[in-house]
Chain A
Amino acid sequence: MDISIRIGGEAGQGIQSISSIIARTFVRHDFYVFINQDFASRIRGGHNFDQVRISNVPVQAVDDKVHILIALDKETTRRDIDCMAENGILLFDEDAIDFTSESPNHFSIPFGKIASEVGKSKIMINSVATGAAIALMDFDLQPVLNGLQEQFQQKGSEIIENNQKCAIAGYDFIRKNLKEKSLFRAPSAKSVRQKMLLTGSQALALGAMASGLKFYSGYPMSPSTAIMEFVSSRADQYNIVLEQAEDEIAAINMVIGAGFAGARAMTATSGGGFCLMAESLSLAGMTETPAVIVVAQRPGPSTGLPTRTEQADLNFVMHAGHGEFPRAILAPGHPAQAVHLMSKAFNLADKYQTPVIVLGDQHFNDTFFTVDELDLESITIDRGYILTDQDLPSPREYKRYSPGESGISPRILPGLTKAVLYADSDEHTEEGHITERATIRNQMMRQRMQKLERLRQEIGPPEIYPAGEAELVLLGWGSTHGVIKEAVDRLNQNGMVAQMMHYSELFPFNPRNIGIAELRKAKIIAVENNYTGQFADFFSKATGLSVHQRILKYDGRPFTAREIVDQIEDKNKENNNGYRGRLSQR
């Protein structure tokens, strides 16, 4: 089973309440659910949709075909009908929407009338629609009724009951009038409640908290804000201080202050906010202060498309900040990876006393993924080279920027030893005092930049799927993990020998992580949500390998597997089966 339901309507109509109840119902019955949220930058009105994909095998990408389309506004009937699968069903309310259709698959159902009569409130059209969708999938309604009870717990029994009645009425309407159209018989399953449904933002926040996050400062900016809100909702329980800053410059400087004092600290923002942080990123590099910064990308330049997705800030985060200093850049492709990489980000930041950037994007941050489990208990915390009084028999001799045995300078945390430390944004001596002497400058530059070489050894290899040799290698990073994997499966089903090479640990690049010689025989196809193929350029330069095709998308929407497969097959035809190489002839 692999069903996609799209609910389209205006902001404020309750699209998300429909998608979340349906999603939770199926996740609790051991299905895999993936919800893509497509919304405009406004609080009310506009056209938005949620697309819920339900499958009995793991799914981590948007499907290009919609099996059930629920139109809460006219715009949905205009824009979204093209996405429908051949036997897909459209539900709309002819009393509310000026739309007529001859198609036997387009059904009017009086959402508004049922809501008013049964639920005593027009707002409850979303519960009617939820019931109707469940009936079309021939699934049990009871878990939905339970879900409504949970959702409206705080609103009292009358609201709960009315919503439940609306769901039942919507369900019954479909059973009565469209029984023969219940094409999608969802296999019945028992409620197990083992899988988890969560967004990329929530996974990043969880990873940070379980890694010992103690201080968070941020300034609201889509699509990063959900991270701050999640941390905030649990800050008192996990003893985290969260301070909403007056701007992004304040946010990063508070993080640097807290990091200097010894608390694990982070901020999150999007590209525009990160622009404001650039000078302070360099400050963290120079003062050798750990800092973790999540950059949830959105399409630029400037304000761009504030609520949509893009991967166009890779070059920027790689080069942001004046001068030369070490940094690491990580980019998770799914929630388990987000947890692992947040933990790695904090450990690298502490160990190498330098900033670490975690790249997300709107698609990754706002999408709901289903995961079988998240392993937080195996997270290890490495605070790096920090001295205590026992290590400091003569505190006056302590020097913050002395080379240390391993090339990493010893930190102390202010107030926690008898020694004092001087940290400076100017070039400084081993003691941390301002200097302009050329020999010391050279020593300090080498000391800082040598950390980059050590960091490089910590960078993990890309994920290769499936293993073995391939003639087509689809190269991607960050949020495209799920969709590339799906495209690779489809290409292999179509008789090609394709493989995904997905990078989640991007910088500093370690070319020893991959088999360059084998890759030289393959055709490398870059898949990126940007205009130029930023990672493809970086990868080519670092490995000497050429990228044969770039599949790029910059309209602010995530890829579907079909888009990727079609472009590869088109190119293949163009090249006169150029992609059919030695492996497919075996």
Chain B
Amino acid sequence: MVTVEDFHSDDPIAWCPGCGNFSILKALKKALVDLQQKPHKLVIVSGIGQAPKTPHYLQSNCFNGLHGRTLPVATGIKLANHKLTVLAQGGDGDGYGEGGNHFLHAMRRNIDITYLVHNNQVYGLTKGQASPTSDLGFVTKTTPRGAISPACNPLLLAIASDCSFVARGFAGEIDHLAGLIIEGIRHKGFSLIDILQPCVSFNRVNTFKWYTERVYKIDADSQYDAGDRLKAFQKAQQWGDKIPIGIFYRNQRPNLEEQIPAIADQPLVAQQTDPDSFSELLETFK
């Protein structure tokens, strides 16, 4: 029986008081307990930023690598041992800016990784510059006259890339977010969970209050069909007075690892190479 105590970490937390990351960490632990996920069978890969510190704050295998390079590392881990549960974690700058190319290709591959993007629409660790998801007109140290390029919409990108699980959560809705993480981990393919996360230090516009007044749950509408890609495109374009959260889109296309013959029986890490098996290959050069 896995309990929340099994995920306890002694590493002191370095986030600002009141940070949205605390709620996300809580939701993540709740999801892992609900899934009865054993910590030693879990790997969390993260990049650089405030969000990527998360794996230090719970008991699990952690690879805290470079800014933007989370997904390729996670892909390598999953292909080497696909029996592991692999989560990737980063912020909006990390995932949609520096790591944008990897994001597109991880979705295309449909590798079975759950990707949590703590999206606070601002660069926190570098202390307050515009991010790829900053709203048009958002004033920061690098956009003193307001952002002049519109925000990138990661959900639209994901649906266009036929990402097989596309969801958005909100740090202020812990139980709902935990539910999305559970669904994402259960889903056998690439799962994007974009998480609206208020930054109490550098984003005075998109605050807890601002989001709480706007977010609504998609699944409250029993008519919404997450299998309908066109509907998902429409839903993902909604932003402003009303902001939808929940599962926007999902499909059941085959994932990367189930299509690779080399790992059909066992993961790579369990396989040995027989040095005597090369004589036939050497003959082909004669």
Contacts and interface: CB of A to CB of B under 8 A. Distances in A.
Contacts of A211: 273
B117 interface: no
Given A250-B102, A381-B273, A261 B77 contact: yes
Contacts of A265: 76, 80
A566 interface: no
Interface in A238-271: 238-241, 243, 245-247, 249-251, 253-263, 265
B66 A241 contact: no
Given A239-B262, A434-B56, A415 B41 contact: yes
Interface stretch (A202-210, A508-516, A523-531): A202-210
Interface residues of B, number: 55
Interface in B216-253: none
Is the contact region of chain B dominated by helix, strand, or loop, or is it mixed? helix
B73 A260 contact: yes
A392 to B, nearest CB: 11
Given A210-B275, A214-B271, A287-B63, A195 B73 contact: no
B1 interface: no
A194 B282 CA distance: 10
A257 B56 contact: no
B72 A254 contact: yes
A210 B75 CA distance: 24
B72 to A, nearest CB: 4
A253 B73 contact: yes
Interface string A352-377: 00000000000000000000001011
A255 B66 CA distance: 14
Nearest to A395: B40
Contact of B81 (A197, A262, A283, A287): A262
Contacts of A236: 261-262
A235 interface: yes
Interface residues of A, number: 72
Interface string B248-282: 00000000000011110000110111011110011
Contact of B262 (A197, A210, A240, A431): A240
A197 B285 CA distance: 6
B61 A421 contact: yes
Interface in B1-18: 11, 14
B278 A376 contact: yes
B39 A420 contact: yes
Contacts of A393: none
8 contacts: A247-B101, A250-B71, A254-B76, A256-B65, A376-B282, A413-B81, A424-B56, A434-B14
Interface of B: 11, 14, 39-41, 43, 45, 48, 53, 55-56, 59-66, 69, 71-81, 83-84, 101-102, 104-105, 109, 260-263, 268-269, 271-273, 275-278, 281-282, 285-286
Given A253-B73, A256-B65, A415-B83, 14 more contacts: A196-B286, A197-B285, A215-B76, A215-B80, A250-B101, A253-B66, A257-B76, A258-B76, A261-B269, A283-B66, A287-B65, A414-B61, A415-B43, A426-B64
